[in-house]
Amino acid sequence: MSRGADTGRANLARIYDYWLGGSHNVPADRDAARVIREIEPAMPAIARANRAFLGRAVRFLAAAGIGQFLDIGSGIPTERNVHEVAQQADPAATVAYVDVDPVAVADGRAMLAGNPGAAMVEADLRDPDKILADSEVQRLIDFGRPAGLLLTGVLHFLADADDPWRIVATLRDALAPGSYLVLGHATTAGRPAVVADPESNPAVAPSLHMRSRAPIFRFFEGFNLVDPGQVFVPLWRPDSPAGVPDDPTLFKTLVGVARRS
């Protein structure tokens, strides 16, 4: 954990790390995680399923020849995150992590010190042009070659008024043909719109903006979804049949991987 971190207040990135079984969290985070779990008992399982999907998607992209990744809204890059998976497949792979949370950024920079192929950038998804122009992003991502754009847990923190579809389109237009979008989004599809709202603990984070299938599908405009399309998170190319639950809608997350023509 970075020096000077505020350990008296819960932080969503560290709560997520706790649900993943990581060590980058403090008692305040664990207390908040327990409160959220009382409201939504599935949250730890959802976090683990989302991280497992991220790993499967990165391995898929690596097998397709993608060696550079832009992960926006990454949180703390711990517990089998993108650089570990990608650089296991290709030691020359590069990863630019982006997050607006200074806690995640500080911890990420400390973790990635000594890894020239990965960096942590502090920036807001609401300003995609700033992200694209960042010197570290430019160092690690050659936008003249295919890249992987990862938006696996961030778009549901943007309200409709932020026009997240325009933001994704701006990022899409910067990508070379043959690039991929990996997306995950909290959803109301298949279930009532009841989920743990981090704002129930005001020390944690802004509220979620869960969306139905159609608005989430709009994010893939300009891309071609690969099989199995837009599905609940456990259903995207599971490693084994045992990884498929009886009711995938319990995971409240729609995901997809798509290629830019």
Question: Can you tell me the mean pLDDT for 148-173?
Answer: 97
Taking only the tens place, the pLDDT of each residue in 18-73 is 887 887 888 998 988 889 888 888 888 898 999 999 999 999 999 999 999 999 99
Ranges 9-13, 173-177, 252-256: which has the least confidence: 9-13
Residues in the chain: 261
202 has a pLDDT exceeding 80: no
CA distances from 110 to 56, 78, 167 (A): 26, 11, 29
- Tell how strand 118-122 and strand 94-99 pair up: parallel
4 has a pLDDT exceeding 50: no
With cut-offs at 50, 70 and 90, classify the pLDDT of residue 154: very high
With cut-offs at 50, 70 and 90, classify the pLDDT of residue 17: confident
Rounded Cα gap, residues 124 and 259, in angstroms: 24
Domains and CATH numbers, the chain: 12-260 (3.40.50.150)
Question: Can you tell me the mean pLDDT for 82-108?
Answer: 95
Ranges 103-107, 129-133, 155-159, 206-210: which has the least confidence: 206-210
- Give me the amino acid identity at 67: G
H/E segment holding residue 214: helix 213-217
197's tokens: 């709202």
pLDDT of the residue at 120? 97
195 has a pLDDT exceeding 50: no
**245-253 contact pairs (CB < 8 A, 24+):** 249/189, 249/190, 249/191, 250/42, 250/45, 250/191, 251/42, 251/45, 251/46, 251/49, 252/42, 252/46, 252/186, 252/187, 252/191, 252/195, 252/210, 253/46, 253/49, 253/50, 253/184, 253/185, 253/186, 253/187
pLDDT of the residue at 191? 62
pLDDT of the residue at 42? 83
Question: Can you tell me the mean pLDDT for 82-107?
Answer: 96
- Mean pLDDT (the chain) is 90
pLDDT of the residue at 200? 42
What DSSP line would sit under 14-39, residue for residue?
A: HHHHHHTT-S---HHHHHHHHHHHHH
Question: Can you tell me the mean pLDDT for 199-207?
Answer: 49
248 has a pLDDT exceeding 50: yes
H/E segment holding residue 173: helix 164-174
| Beta bridge pairs of residue 68 | 94
pLDDT of the residue at 38? 87
Share of the chain above pLDDT 70, in %: 91
201 has a pLDDT exceeding 90: no
Give residue for tokens 């192929």.
Answer: 117
Q: Is the pTM of this model over 0.85?
A: yes
